[in-house]
Structure 1
Amino acid sequence: MATWLLNCNPKTFKLDEYHDAGEVLNSWTIARFRDEVAAGDEFVLWVSGPNAGIAAYGHFTGPAEYGQVDPEYWTTDPGQKHFVPLDVDKWLDLRIPKAQLAGDARMAEASILRQPFAGNPHRLSDDQWRAIREAIDAAESSAPDWHLNPGDTIRRTELHSLYGGSSQGEISPSGTSDNILIFTEAGSGHQRGYLDTWNEDGTFHYTGEGRTGDQRMIRGNKAIFEHRDTGKRLRLFEGTRGTVRYLGEWTLDQEQAYSWAEAPETEGGPLRQIIRFHLVPVRTSITAPEVEVGQDYIIVDEEVAPAPAAPSTPDPDLVGRNLSTHRRLQNRLAQEAQDRGLIVLSPSATDPDFDLAWRDGRGRLTVCEVKSLMRANETRQLRAGLGQVLDYKDQLTERTTDVAAVLWIEREPAEIRWVNLCRQVGVTLAWPGREDAVFSRIHNGGQI
């Protein structure tokens, strides 16, 4: 069984548009080795250009064929060509960059490096295939060269000495590691024209760099936007100088990577266009029973001042009033649980992204999702909250056998059917004034 490299020139085939559209890659045109490719052969997909590297891997499902090629994503009509049928086993979250592979001695004779304009496919030797697979396996692992856990604090000077990047500015791409270090001061950044905001669904909107004039997709902003293509990991920190706190690894939302908004320049200057990157957390799924769930509860900041939602924001309710109410509800419920002698928890980096959880004296776990409600968004919020807490319960059942689920909302719902619906699927729906019922259920195993 042979191994191959397929090269994609983005100037002739619009691979990113193809992938973003959800199309299934099931063939690739080839110009040589047509009698040698066979079903079961493995391949990697290489994208050429400034951010060249490995973007996917898979296997061939048959021998070469000949026929008309669908021209939709080609810059010119390809006509009839030889092609090989295939299945993509996985698209990589982070591209394996050319520079990394070129630095491996086993790749010295690889034709993609020595003859990059040769036709597809490129044959890979056993050593070349091992070099590429090792790079892929390392990229898909838990970043062994990174030693900070979410919540850890470190002096920024020490951080840069370990992982590279500039100690100046809020976006710091590293030239010595596969990281982009980004820094936020969500509580005070608005004074400098930065509108970083935490959203009720656990995502984060991060303002690009550039304090005066319209921001552009250059330098640090470009590095964030292309981080998957360049194989870089986004590392978010709270604070910009002195001691900073690590907030984990993040990635761009695949449905909407960024939006545009208006904000004043530093110190209240004129309005200008800013980039708001839509970040979602990268979490590691751990199901081993011996891995403890949660960490000590972290009080969330109720004094939030999110920016006005841009017209393209997917959920305009995730701003201002909803976020403040959500956090107030969450902190009050956490305090109530603590006052009743329960151990209150926030999620750790290895947990699903629940709002809070608690354990009783017998070690039984309750996971809770909190939702604010307005008349205009009540049904949407209840649907989302129920789905989230069921997902959390299901994931945590792999690690502890006795898990209860609570959906805690701002007020009694307009339709009482929601209480019955939640009860049917094993979720307690409650709101302020129903605390006794919630904690009685947890202690006695009853239902509201």
Structure 2
Amino acid sequence: MVDWGVKEGDRLKRVALHEEYGGRRQGGIGPSRVSNNVFLFSDPSKGRQHGYFDGWGEDGCYHYAGEGQRGDQRMTQGNLSILNHQQDGRALRLFHGVGAATVEYIGEFTLAEEAPWYRTDAPDTDGELRSVIMFRLEPVDAMLHKGARLPHTPASSPSTSQVDVEQQHTERALVDPSREPYEAERREASLVRDYVEHLRSEGHEVVRHKILPSGVLKALYTDIYDVSERVLIEAKGTIHRDAIRTAIGQLFDYRRHILPHPRGLALLVPSRPEDDLLDLCASVEIKVIWPEGESYAQTSAR
């Protein structure tokens, strides 16, 4: 096997790196057959175009997205070489630069013993949401902490806090913030603003929640929480079936994180859905609210 001779901070041609030490000449993960190394290439500024969110976390680890640009990532090939690097006797060597001709050696890493990897949602190359593997890499040299940082480091325990309802977030925008919002999302934001104004005009206290589940990279945000009535409300800018079914799942997902638990669940939409969808919501005790004239109409949860 070839001895390692590259120092931290060294810049070299990627083609020269592979000629001497082996490994794949393209892609982000390159396990070598001629040296005891797995080469990792990271460029946070460019990786987000393909749903990769690499960077330093507050836990002292470099969070590194696995390979696979389309569909849910699987623990195979390059990803598996990271997971098994210690038992295979290989060092993890991290470089800055992916498609660049010249890369910079950051240093040697090892997979964290506790919670070595987790999953997060991110768009793939085609813009479709999928599940991405995130590895937690610990630097062998503790002085390596430089470069891009994560906006949030996944925690070992969940947390929930109240935030200003004027902070507008949608789940899709959180996992793909660079894209333009869809028209339905614009309608959703307007719908939320108007209904919040309506509730406040009736003397209700209104907030939203920021939810950080354990081991999750990106926060979840509820749309509206009517504190006065303890009703959790999810808004959708369209009444098509997929949106209604998504909202139902979101409401049940959010509710378990809010203490004390909401007394009621509601769906806010721009117009009256078809009867079958109203029956669906009623069957899971979710009332439906929509604008009607100068006020709002609503169903009753069973």
Give me the TM-score of the superposition, normalised by structure 1: 0.36
> Which residue pairs with 1:359 in the alignment?
227
Q: Secondary structure at the match of 2:113?
A: strand
Task: Flag the 1:14–1:407 CA change in 2: closer, same or farther, 3 A.
Answer: farther
Q: Which residue of 2 aligns with 1:447?
A: 301
Q: Quick one: distance in 1 between partners of 2:261 and 2:247?
A: 22
Specify the SS of the correspondent of 1:294: strand
What amino acid is aligned across from residue 193 of structure 2 in structure 1? N
Going from structure 1 to structure 2, the CA distance change for 1:295 and 1:431 (only over 3 Å counts) comes to: same
Of 166, 169, 176 in structure 2, the residue corresponding to residue 298 of structure 1 is 166
Residue 10 of structure 1 is aligned with which of 25, 28, 31?
Answer: 31
2:73 corresponds in structure 1 to 20
The higher radius of gyration belongs to 1
Cα deviation for residue 28 of structure 1 reads 7.0
Please, which runs of 5 or more residues in structure 1 have no aligned partner?
1-7, 33-44, 59-88, 104-174, 181-232, 236-248, 251-281, 307-312
Question: When the two structures are aligned, how many residues end up with a matched partner?
Answer: 198
Q: Look up the equivalent residue of 2:235 and give its one-letter code.
A: V
Work out whether residues 299 and 331 of structure 1, in 8 Å CA contact, stay in contact via their aligned partners in 2.
no
Separation of aligned partners in 1, 2:210 and 2:84: 42
Closer/same/farther in 2, CA of residues 27 and 336 from structure 1, 3 Å limit? same
Other-structure match for 1:234: 150
Q: How far apart are the structure 1 equivalents of 2:150 and 2:207? A: 26
Secondary structure at 1:432 match in 2: strand
Query: Could you state the TM-score of these two structures normalised by the residue count of structure 2?
Result: 0.51
Letter paired with 2:280: L
Deviations 1:58-117 (A, max 9, x none): 7xxxxxxxxxxxxxxxxxxxxxxxxxxxxxx642644222332xx5xxxxxxxxxxxxxx
Q: Which runs of structure 2 are paired with 1:28-427 in the superposition (5 Å)? A: 47-50=92-95, 52-57=108-113, 90-91=116-117, 93=134, 94-100=136-142, 103=143, 180=148, 233-235=149-151, 249=152, 286=158, 293-298=161-166, 300=168, 319-348=181-210, 350=212, 352-360=220-228, 364-373=229-238, 378-396=240-258, 399-413=259-273, 415-427=274-286
8 Å CA contact retained: 1:365, 1:402: yes
Shift of 1:424: 1.5
> Deviation of residue 335 (structure 1)?
0.6
SS at match of 1:234: coil
Cα distance in 1 for residues equivalent to 2:236 and 2:185: 9
| Structure-2 change in CA distance of 1:431 and 1:52 (3 Å) | farther
Secondary structure of residue in 1 paired with 2:199: helix
Equivalent-residue separation in structure 1 for 2:168 and 2:87 (angstroms):
55
CA drift of 1:404 comes to 1.6
d(CA) in 2 for partners of 1:406, 1:14: 49
- State the 1:326 CA deviation: 1.1
Q: Percent identity?
A: 16
**8 Å contact from structure 1 (residues 46, 55) kept in 2:** no
What is the letter of the counterpart of residue 138 of structure 2?
Answer: I
- Deviation of 1:370 after TM superposition, in Å, equals 0.8
The letter of the residue matching 1:359 is V
What CA deviation, in whole Å up to 9, does each residue of 1:230-250 have, x standing for no partner?
Answer: xxx323xxxxxxxxxxxxx38
CA distance in 2, matches of 1:46, 1:410: 55
Using the alignment, how far apart are the partners of 1:285 and 1:429 within structure 2? 33
Label 1:402 to 1:323 Cα distance change in 2 as closer, same or farther (>3 A): closer
Confirm or deny: 8 A CA contact 1:296 1:345 kept in the other structure.
yes
Report the CA distance between 1:329 and its aligned residue.
Answer: 0.4
Contact 2:231 2:266 in 1 (8 A): yes
Counterpart of 1:48 in structure 2: which amino acid? R
Residues 277-305 of structure 1, C-alpha deviation per residue, up to 9 Å, x if partnerless? Answer: xxxxx688646xxx7x523321649xxxx
- Is the contact between residue 352 and residue 395 of structure 1 (CA under 8 Å) also seen in structure 2? no
> Which structure has more RCO (C-alpha within 8 Å, separation ≥ 6)?
2
1:425 deviation in Å?
1.3
User: Aligned pair in 2 of structure 1 residues 338, 46: CA closer, same or farther (>3 Å)?
Assistant: farther
Please report the RMSD computed on the Cα atoms of aligned residues, expressed in angstroms.
4.3
Give the unaligned 5+ runs of structure 2.
1-28, 41-65, 96-106, 119-133, 213-218
* Aligned mates of 1:345, 1:299 — CA distance in 2: 10
Q: Indicate how the Cα distance of structure 1 residues 329 and 49 shifts in structure 2: closer, same or farther if over 3 A, else same.
A: closer
Q: Which residue of 2 aligns with 1:226?
A: none
Structure 1 residues 338 and 371: alpha-carbon distance in aligned structure 2, compared to 1, 3 A threshold: same
